[in-house]
Amino acid sequence: MSACVRIRHDHTAHSSPPSRASGIKRPHSPPPPRRGGRFRIAGADLSASITVFLIAVPMSLGLAVAMDAPLEAGLISAAVGGIVAGLLGGTPLQVSGPSAGLTVVTAELIQIYGWRTTCAITIGAGLLQILLGSLRAARGALAVSPAIVHGTLAGIGVAIALAQLHIVLGASPQSSAAANALALPEQLGRTSPAAPLIGALTIAVLVAWPRLPGRIGRAVRRLPAALASVAIATAVAAVAAPGIARVDLPSWRSHALPEPPQGPVLALATAVLTVLLVASLESLLAAVAVDKLTADRAGGRTADCSPPASDAPAAPRVQRSDLDRELRGQGIANVLAGLLGGLPVSGGAVRSSANVRAGATGRAATVLHGVWVLLAAGLLVTALEWIPLAALAALVMVVGFQMVNYAHIRNVHKHREFLVYGATITGVVLFGVLEGVAIGIAVAVAVALHRLARTRITVTDQGGRHLVVVRGQLTFLAVPRLSRALGQLPRDGDAVVELDGFFMDHAAYETIQDWSDAQTAQGGHVVFTGRSGGRIAEPASAAHSCCRPWTPWRNHHCHDRPDRSGQPVDARRAAATWAAFALDENPGADQGPAGSAEADARAVDVTGAADATAGATGRSDTPGDGAAVPRRTGAHRLASGLSSFQRNTAPLVRDELARLAREGQRPSQLFITCADSRLVTSMITASGPGDLFTVRNVGNLVPPPGAEAGDDSVGAAIEYAVDVLKVESITVCGHSGCGAMQALMGTRPDTPPTSLWRWLRHGLPSLERMTSRHHAWARISGRLPADEVEQLCLTNVVQQLDHLRAHESVARRLAEGALQLHGMYFHVGEAQAYLLAEGASAGSGVDEVFDRVGPCDPNHAHPYDITHLSDPTSLTALGDPGDHAAVSVPTGAVGPADPTGSGELERTSA
């Protein structure tokens, strides 16, 4: 579970809304319009642009080396991608530049057609991107199977790593990935140590830089790892290996520009389509990833949705990506890059994620990064020529390895698509990108057809009754085997057909229907069920009208709702079932898969028999008779609930409960709350099996250790949870309208010493605390409690936390800093939870304030997890202005209403 408490600013009820001219934006309101269309640059954008620039320069040079392209072409693409795609693209925070995914494709095009024709191919691909973006086809590109996309990128990464390994070893790469792999043993035998050592140093710094510990490590980690690794390798090479091969930037005067393409038209068209496919998919996938990163950062929240520190500024909201506009922007950037003699451009995940994490707020960071690259290309030529080629090759080799993402492999394996993933990788490495994509699509289609045709049919004899289990989709391809299996059953026997699939075509339906008709005509009895055991012939309204599992508990008493006959639905179904067994149901009745009219009539007749039986006993369930629907007995309610669980919920939780049974319970929280039936802990905390270790008693009381006539069961549960289960937090939860608190306020000295009275004595300290002058009254979300009962409910939570701290095991874990205590109050009528301020929960705060828990963005948080609140005392989670209205407290044990309206009430003597 995770949690998030919405931060709301503390405005008074009479505060006026901020004016439009003030520059302050209301929450969830659109940004104010730009004045005069000026291009605004925030300080965060400036710093983020420098961070991305420091990553982009070595990356662009390294990719140019990997493609065997002119080195200045990489800088041109970085500048054009940053400025043009940054201004015109549909993803404000995405940073475009030379594409790692196009490394293998571009290198092959340069070898076949030369550099100038490759630039023309880049222009053609850009024009097609503009066309597709104008036709709004960007979303269609995301329809490609993720296994094929990730397999393509992983195959490209393998090819990049194999090629760059030869440069790290001081040689030149071969023409293909297979040739690079075959030539590697020979290259290892005749390599010189200088280049491999510089490459190894670059990789070591890349890996270790983000993991530098301590205060110094935090300071130096602000410098990007890519720049740090290349700078250190350059400095070491300048001293230890002055003769190593370095970057050679030719004069801009000799830079080659595109020429009209020359070659077979079909081959050139294939090359353009390949560049279009890879560049577009990489850009669109990166845009989706940027949206996710930006959403995690939205509102100042962290990835786990815990609130930021009180002094941390909220991150600005950034508009979601317009993928069609992004595709058009990438196309214009590719056209311009090709015209200027640059590499193909696409959105890059590495640069874009760095831009988001650096705090960029808009397009200015992306555009400025391109400006800095352009200035570096003209002013830092001498410095760039000191960089060893082995360092750039090692940098790009690590990028290639990172494209083989283990998380992607695990994901495609979980979805049983690893065969498609592996086939795509193999095709890309052995034959090329376009061929690998075609192989992946072919394998994906074959796998889909195999799954569609793979239907398992088993027949089991269960002592005179046959069980036929059909697993998979029922199509015409499975009809021969299905007909053969059904034909082997006795003509006059009973059969249960369990259909476990999501699709049945017309041929399969007719086969089953014809067999069912023939079976029942010859005296057999056929029942069709789903995997959960419910009859398929039952009306959907009866089986699944409500009580759907894993949904909020709305209408969870639907089994008590009367149907048209006046009986509760579940009661009517149960009566029909039992009457059918009692009357020896006619075996010749028809129950086809769709439910026939005869079957429905029989159900009515059976129910009528049950109604007649009820009438004979003097009971009438028909509303027309003026009688109310009878309340079901506890035994029947229990049986009905268990049946509903087995039918609807058990299939969904069986795997999770099996895992918990194997691994044992490891809850993170001990939850102490009242035994009140209206308080459903799993619902209000959005928790599931294994999350909470719950203790429930009358009044959510925690007897202090050694108390007279104490109850050791609560203390035992606390010791077990703290010492054995090692829970991280303990929550004491009270609630509104608590009957225990009402009974406690009504106790008198002559109250008989019953079991309830002896238990409620543990709440007397709460009553004394409420009437004492030495303790501040608890407040709830900016207001005073509604009445004295609510005041006692709140005070009782605070007092029981004091009792908790008196337990030896709790005190020891608190001293170690391994345990947290939390107070919680749940208003039943409002369905609203409140959390006690952290200082009061820890026993160090003066004000006992219960702050309202607001709803959170469902994409990033669950409604409840008090363990992730960093500083609830700094949050002013106030509700509507009406929450601040004065509330009169009845006179009595608490005290009179405050005549001054200051919010403080006079107290009576203890």
Name the active-site residue from 45, 291, 611, 676.
676
Sheet strand arrangement including 669-674: 692-697, 669-674, 729-735, 820-827, 832-836, 849-852, 779-780
Sign of CA dihedral 52, 55, 59, 60: positive
793 carries an active-site annotation: no
SS (H, E, C) 517-538: HHHHHCCCEEEEECCCCCECCC
Helix, strand or coil, per DSSP, at residue 847: coil
Q: Tokens 């027309």 label which residue?
A: 624
Query: 389-402 vs 225-240: helix axis angle to the nearest 10?
Result: 150
- What DSSP designation does 733 have? E
Question: Do 292 and 349 contact (CB within 8 A), yes or no?
Answer: no
Partnered with residue 729 across adjacent β-strands are 669, 820
Query: 433-453 vs 418-430: helix axis angle to the nearest 10?
Result: 160
- What DSSP designation does 458 have? E
* Cα(833)–Cα(825) distance, integer angstroms: 6
Name the active-site residue from 328, 559, 735, 762.
735
Helix, strand or coil, per DSSP, at residue 452: helix
320 carries an active-site annotation: no
253 carries an active-site annotation: no
Buried-state track 583-614, b at ≥16 Cβ within 10 A, e below 16: eeeeeebbbbbebbeebeebbeebbebbbeeb
Name the active-site residue from 305, 547, 738, 856.
738
Report in angstroms the alpha-carbon separations of 263 from 111, 120, 372.
Answer: 13, 12, 38
Partnered with residue 527 across adjacent β-strands are 496
Count of alpha carbons within 13 Å of 40, Cβ hemisphere only?
11
Name the active-site residue from 4, 305, 547, 674.
674
* Cα(850)–Cα(841) distance, integer angstroms: 10
Continuous segment of H or E residues that includes residue 891 = none
Which residues have a Cβ under 8 Å from the Cβ of 134 and sit 6 or more positions away?
324, 328
691 carries an active-site annotation: no
674 carries an active-site annotation: yes
Q: Tokens 């069986």 label which residue?
A: 654
Catalytically active residues, by annotation: 674, 676, 678, 735, 738
